[in-house]
Chain A
């Protein structure tokens, strides 16, 4: 749930999602769910020439399971907060 929460705090920010098929899409993060499925608006595809099928696509839904990376806007990520939250979640998992 931790990572899901992080993504929720980044809605309306520009992110770059890199898929396992090497397709790289930059867009405005519109929504995310607990599977880390992602909705992006106003997308731009890196290396458009290699992906001609994406030319007419403006908005898209990406299935979480096909994501390799998401590049996040560093200025909107509080790393200290992340580490504290991660330790807290790890502690609560250990108690179970």
Chain B
């Protein structure tokens, strides 16, 4: 079997996304997109040209159990190391 392009294990999917833009969902109500340059077996990642989306909930103080409104804050970073234990999922660019 062709091991250079085939997918036998989960990390192969990340390997094939090297130098491509990936979407990363993180614990702590955050999402990232960035160009993947490095990873390891802990799913530690190094990304460049990163845009982070942080989920915020506004308007909770009036009604503690009630309906807050979900807002997002965005932030850009040039080069970012992401610790693997916070990663929920990594999604490669769509190949359509």
A64-85 contacts to B, CB under 8 A, are 64-65, 67-74, 77, 79, 82-83, 85
- Which interface residue of A2, A69, A70 has the most chain B CB atoms within 10 A? A69
Q: Given the complex of chains A and B, what is the CA–CA distance between A6 and B37 in angstroms?
A: 12
Q: Given the complex of chains A and B, what is the CA–CA distance between A18 and B88 in angstroms?
A: 18
The interface size bin for chain A is: 20 to 34
A30-81 contacts to B, CB under 8 A, are 36, 64-65, 67-74, 77, 79
Majority DSSP secondary structure for residues of A touching B: helix
What total of chain B residues lie within 8 Å of the partner, measured CB to CB? 25
Distance in Å from the Cβ of A33 to the closest Cβ of chain B? Answer: 14
Do A2 and B83 form a contact, CB below 8 Å, given A71-B77, A86-B18? no
Distance in Å from the Cβ of B2 to the closest Cβ of chain A? Answer: 13
Do A3 and B81 form a contact, CB below 8 Å, given A20-B28, A74-B48, A85-B38? yes
Q: Given the complex of chains A and B, what is the CA–CA distance between A69 and B26 in angstroms?
A: 11
Residue pairs across A and B with Cβ atoms less than 8 A apart, 11 shown, are A2-B40, A3-B38, A3-B44, A65-B85, A70-B81, A71-B79, A71-B80, A72-B80, A74-B79, A82-B38, A86-B39
